[in-house]
Structures are given as C-alpha cells and as structure tokens.
Structure 1
Amino acid sequence: MSKNQKIVVGISIGDLNGIGSEVVLKTFRDSRMLEFCTPVIFASVKTMSFCKKVFELDDISLHGIDSLDAILHKKINVFNVWKEQPEIKFGEEDKAIGTFAVRSLEAAVSALKDSMIDVLVTAPINKSNVQSEAFNFPGHTDYLAKELGGESLMLLISDELRVGLLTDHVAVKDVSENITRELIEKKINTIHKTLIQDFAISKPKIAVLGLNPHNGDHGVIGTEDDEILEPTLTNLRNNGKMVFGPYAADSFFGSGNYKNFDVVIASYHDQGLVPFKTLAFGSGVNYTAGLSKIRTSPDHGTAYDVAGKNKANPESFEQAVFAAIEIYRKRKEYLKLSKDPLKPLPKRSFAKKK
C-alpha cells in the first residue's frame, strides 16, 4: 500500500443467517466511510445484492471483483469467493450456511497473509455450525493464532475500558487448571507489548482480577490466587512491569477502580466480558492482540432474534472498522520508530502565535 492509498479493510461476512451482512452494508452506506478506508467484502456480489435488497439499501453500489488486484478505492468492493447462491434463512442455525462463513474467513485471512488487504474485520460467526473436520476451532481467535502466528489474546476495547483474558473459550470447570504461571506471564507480556505498540501507551498499568471469590479468602475458597497469581504478578513487577493485583472481581468494576488502569486482565471469559458488555455494549470492539496482523470484530454475536428484520445497529461494527484503522496506523508508526530509534524527531516551533 502506497502512502497515497487508503487502508484496505478486508471483511469476512460471518453467518449469513445472522446480522453480519446487515451491519456491514449499513456501515458503508455512509459514503464518508470510504474516505477513511477501502472495504473489501469476502462473499459474492450476488449474495450481497440479495442482502442489500432485503434491507432496502438501494443507495449502495457494490463493485464486484474476481481478483484482489482489481480493488478500487472509493468503492465497496466485493470479492467473489463463491458462485453459487446460499439459501439464506435469517434467524436460523444452519450447518450449510456455516460453510460459507468459513470460506469467507479463509479467503480473507489468505488475503491478509499475502498483504492484499491491510487489516481484517470479522462479522460474527456461529461457533457451532462452522465446525468440521477441516475447521475445528472454538472461534476466530484460535484459527487466527494458527494462521497468523504470535501469542493471541482476546482484548475487548472501548473509549474508556480495555479488558483482556487469561483464558477465553474454556469451560468454567477447566479454567483453574489452565491458569499457570507460564500462561499468566505469556499473557501479561503479550498485553504489555500490545499496549505499547498498538495503543501508544509507553508505560502500561495493568490490573489483574483474581480467580476465586474474594481472591480465595486466604485459602478458604481456593488457593490459586495465593499460590499462582500473586507470586507471578510479584515476579513481573520485579522485572519492571506495572502489574497490580490480584483484585477481587466482584467490586472492581462497580467501584470504578478499572478507570485507574490501562487494561484489566480477567481470569476467564465471563468474568471479563460481563462487566465489559454491561458498560460498553453496542460500542465495544473485540481485538485479537498479539498477532502479526490486525483483526477486530464487533462485540456482539449473530443476533438471530433480530436477523433479517432490518433492526440491527451497525455501531459496534463501525467502531471495529475505526479501531482496526487506528491500531494499524499506530503499529506502523511504532515499527517505524523502533527500526530507527536514533532518528531525530521533527523540530517543534515554540514561537508564540500572533
């Protein structure tokens, strides 16, 4: 991508029976979005034209392409991943529709790896109907970690809050055995690097939530907080990282303590996502930190209950697009400065304005 070109945002279409196609199209209905980036939807023109008609978006123009070399700026590009027309039944869980979600994702990730697109924004999938012998992952994060490399970490972000996870799609009964000193150190190191290179925070302050109620009450309700979390965090602090905790999770958000930190690390999925979605639902973004490439997604799922009713709110998807663009720029700037750390900064003029 040359300096004069816009950031190319690849979009996997997700579950076609959900609200993905609706929020994607509504996001780019505003022509001003095309001033910020160049979208490429991985689906088919025929499929997206059908969705456009369902949602009465006659003012949208789609540019179909069969080669990524044919991407045009200031156009809503649709890369034709398939020729057949999926049988879309909004609001229904369908294994056949799941295969199209996987095909879209695989094509988009391939383009990302080849640098034909700059960032990836994924519309929601149904984690059940995408499963097969060829695609056996609990979600986007695990698949992307395999394909893109790095130490992936689910990070939910909004204007005022960032929440990361030690464990993500792990059954509650298996959480405690998965939280080891090695895992904690790996995740904290990943989030520390992410905040520096992707969010331009030079000295990140990281809060970590305890695993057990009341941090185990000194062993009365569990020993993991005293024996695993606390000594590991102490060691990380001794090595120069501003890591604090473990904090009792039940009062941490209600007290507003989260505002004192750059990120909060939760021990398991719902411990982090319940407060995040309570405080920022509809405007939050899911960012897969720690990868070699940028991927974001909205903070909601397929929303079958409103799918096909022309009621879906595109705000979270819009924010996911903006977040991907912003993170891409900050990482690019960080890598540029890191590559040439002794390069003098531009001189500032301190002359008083007349």
Structure 2
Amino acid sequence: MSDKLRIGITIGDYNGIGPELILKTLSNKLVLNYCTPVVYGNTYVFKHYAQLLNINPITFNIVKKKEDVKDGAVNLRFCNEDRINITPGEPSIEAGKFAFDALELAVEDVKEGIIQNILTAPIDKKSTTDAGLPFNGHTQYFAQKFESNVQMILVDDDLRVAMVTGHTPLNSVSSALTSEKITESIKSMYTHLQSDFGIKKPKIAVLGLNPHGGDNGLMGSEEINLIKPVIEALNKNDVIAVGPYSPDGFFGSNNVKNFDGVIGMYHDQVLTPFKQTSFANGINYTAGLPIVRTSPDHGTAYDIAGKGIASISSFVGALYLINKIHRNRLKFYDSSTTPLPYKDHRREKFSIGVPDLN
C-alpha cells in the first residue's frame, strides 16, 4: 500500500446532492495526488447524474477485493445491485436503504483494511431509519459500530464547537445536564483538540444554559450550581476552560476568536451561530473513533438536488480535514513520525477546493 490515505466515500442519499458532490470533487485529478478515493455506490447512479448535470463521467476502477484498489484512480465498491428509481429531490425508503448499505460496506472495509477513513455524503435520517438504520444519524451509527464514546465537533478552520446534550429535545435539556456530562464533554474536547488538531494547550470556552448566563441566578441556577463548579474543578487539573459565558454576547462580541474550542449545553445553542457564519464551509467531525470520519455540515439539500448548483466547499473541506487529523494523530501518538509541512497542505487544499468545473 502507498503512503496515500485510502479514503472511503459513501454516496449518502442518491436523491440528494451526494452524487453531485462526489462527481464534482473527484473530477479534479489533483485529488488523486492527495488520497486514494474508494467510492461506495454504483455506476448507474453516477452515470445518471453525470448525464443529468452535464458533467464528464468518471471512469471508475471496480474493486471486488483489497488487491483491486488502485492508487491514482477513482475506485468504486458496489454496495447495492438492486434495481433503483432515482427521483432527485424526493426522499424514499429505497434511497435510504442504498445509503445504509453503503455505510455497512464501508465500515466492513475499514475492518478488513481496504480503506482507512470515511467521508460520508449526507443522508436523510428518516429514510435510512425506515430502511433499517437503527440510529438517528451517522454519529450514533459509527459510535456503535466501533464501540466508541464519540463527540460531534463542528469545524470551520479555527472555529470548533461541540455540545453536551446533542440531539436532546429542548424541554429535556436542563434535566439531562449533570456535572459528569459537562465534565466529560469538556475533557473530551480538550483531548481531541490535542490529538486531532495539534493544539498543545487548548483553551475552551464554556457557555451557560440560561438567558444572560442566568444573570446571577435570576433566570436559572444551572450556571451557579452545575457549570461553574465543573469549570473550577477542571482548571485545578490543568484543563483550561473559561466561562460560563452568555451565548448571545459571546458570539456577538467575536470572543470566540480567543478560544480553540467552544462547548455549549445544547444543540442549537452552538449550531445556530456556527451555521450562520460557516454554512458553506462547515464540517461535521466524529471525534473519538479509531478512524477519522467527516461529513459536510449540511443535509441532502433536496431543494437543489439534480440542478447542478450544489457547492462542494464543505465536502472538499471534509476530505481535506481527514488528512489533517490523520497527520496530527500520527504526530501525537508517535513522536518519531514527521508529518508533512502544514503550509504544503494549505496549498493543496486551495488547489483541490477551487477546480474549474465550468
């Protein structure tokens, strides 16, 4: 095997923009200087979209076993040979099953050594759940498959955000918060910032739960009784955490630029400001896995599926981030490993990210 990473790319929902993202990204041959892609889908879907979007079709190298994978080529693993009906912009259980099959084969191939890391195109959660995926999304799926405690981190260059309660209904957030959960979330992010992002002494901002950070107990006591004691205890153990901050003032004042990571108490508290500034470039990273798994931080975009106008910025960024994290992990866990210079990868990212696709 060459030094290039073998990155599995799952097709996601074929009625969404996943096939378009893959076709546009892998039509730039510079990508092959950076990694060896192994796509999980079938030729029928990609031929259909290449014709529909007037994009040059990709010549795939078909992979049936590990030895078939070729560097310098776009490889394809058939994840499903069922007769399918492609209806851009319309969810279907059929498309959900196809996306699920792609995930299952990619995970199997990681364990067999065919690929090393995974980039997932967007899925429709309801379609995949109806088709048999026993989890509400990629994050929980990978956590179960690799028996790992994971943390979802949203990334856009130096902006990194995570949350304590994840996909918890808003009316259950307060009761779901515990000192242990807050502590674990902050400690996990601290560790991932070190091992995966190469930051020796991360500085993490911690947000409060209530309006105006509780205003000294007038609008809620979680900041006083839960969050602040956790921060103080962590500081005594050399974890640099600061807060709790009132979320509106924190993001509005650009204080976020003074930190390496941000921990919020619930999903929309950090995702809303993140997507406001990083919707086109945001990346979803599942930290805590033995592999590197990333995804663009957007959904299936049914409203523009099949129209040829989807931006590949987030998808390309997710592809690049895999290499960056892989390199940082090697450096963190093996001091004898010398990573490639960061500046070279910045140039490579720029080259990959702005191909002439017109």
- Shared fold per TM-score greater than 0.5: yes
The structure 2 residue matched to 1:190, chosen from 184, 188, 191, is: 188
The count of residues paired between Structure 1 and Structure 2 equals 338
| Structure 2: gaps (5+ residues) | 339-358
| Structure 1: gaps (5+ residues) | 345-354
In 1, Cα distance between equivalents of 2:110 and 2:129: 22
CA contact (8 A) 2:217 2:224 kept: yes
In 2, Cα distance between equivalents of 1:292 and 1:10: 15
SS at match of 2:304: coil
Cα distance, 1:263–1:65 mapped onto 2, change above 3 Å: same
In 2, Cα distance between equivalents of 1:32 and 1:152: 32
Structure 1 segments of 4 or more deviating over 3 A? none
The structure 2 residue matched to 1:165, chosen from 146, 163, 166, is: 163
SS at match of 1:92: coil
Name the residue aligned to 2:353. Answer: none
In 1, Cα distance between equivalents of 2:308 and 2:62: 24
Q: Output the amino acid matched with 2:173.
A: V
Name the residue aligned to 2:31. Answer: 33
CA contact (8 A) 2:129 2:135 kept: yes
Cα distance, 1:269–1:9 mapped onto 2, change above 3 Å: same
Q: Determine whether 1:79 maps to 2:77.
A: yes
The structure 1 residue matched to 2:148, chosen from 141, 147, 150, is: 150
CA deviation map 1:266-322 (0-9, x unaligned): 111111111111111211211111121110000110000000111111111000000
Name the residue aligned to 2:326. Answer: 328
In 1, Cα distance between equivalents of 2:114 and 2:242: 41
CA contact (8 A) 2:96 2:130 kept: no
SS at match of 1:130: helix
What's the offset of the Cα at 1:52? 2.1
SS at match of 2:129: coil
CA contact (8 A) 2:159 2:261 kept: yes
CA contact (8 A) 2:155 2:285 kept: yes
Structure with the higher helix share, 1 or 2 = 2
Name the residue aligned to 2:125. Answer: 127
Name the residue aligned to 1:179. Answer: 177
212-221 vs 271-280, which moves further: 212-221
CA contact (8 A) 1:164 1:265 kept: yes
Name the residue aligned to 1:274. Answer: 272
In 1, Cα distance between equivalents of 2:168 and 2:109: 29
SS at match of 2:50: helix
In 1, Cα distance between equivalents of 2:232 and 2:113: 40
Q: % of aligned pairs identical?
A: 40
Q: Output the amino acid matched with 1:202.
A: K
Q: Determine whether 1:67 maps to 2:91.
A: no
SS at match of 2:196: helix
Name the residue aligned to 2:101. Answer: 103
What's the offset of the Cα at 1:226? 1.2
Q: Output the amino acid matched with 1:20.
A: G
What's the offset of the Cα at 1:134? 4.2
Output the TM-score relative to the length of structure 1: 0.92
The structure 2 residue matched to 1:285, chosen from 267, 271, 283, is: 283
Name the residue aligned to 2:233. Answer: 235
Q: Output the amino acid matched with 2:45.
A: T
The 5 Å alignment of 1:49-64 reads 49-58=47-56, 60-64=58-62
What's the offset of the Cα at 1:108? 1.0
Name the residue aligned to 1:307. Answer: 305
What's the offset of the Cα at 1:59? 5.2
CA contact (8 A) 2:196 2:329 kept: yes
SS at match of 2:315: helix
Cα distance, 1:59–1:84 mapped onto 2, change above 3 Å: closer
CA contact (8 A) 2:62 2:68 kept: no
What's the offset of the Cα at 1:79? 0.3
CA contact (8 A) 1:149 1:292 kept: no
- Give the RMSD, CA atoms, in angstroms: 1.7
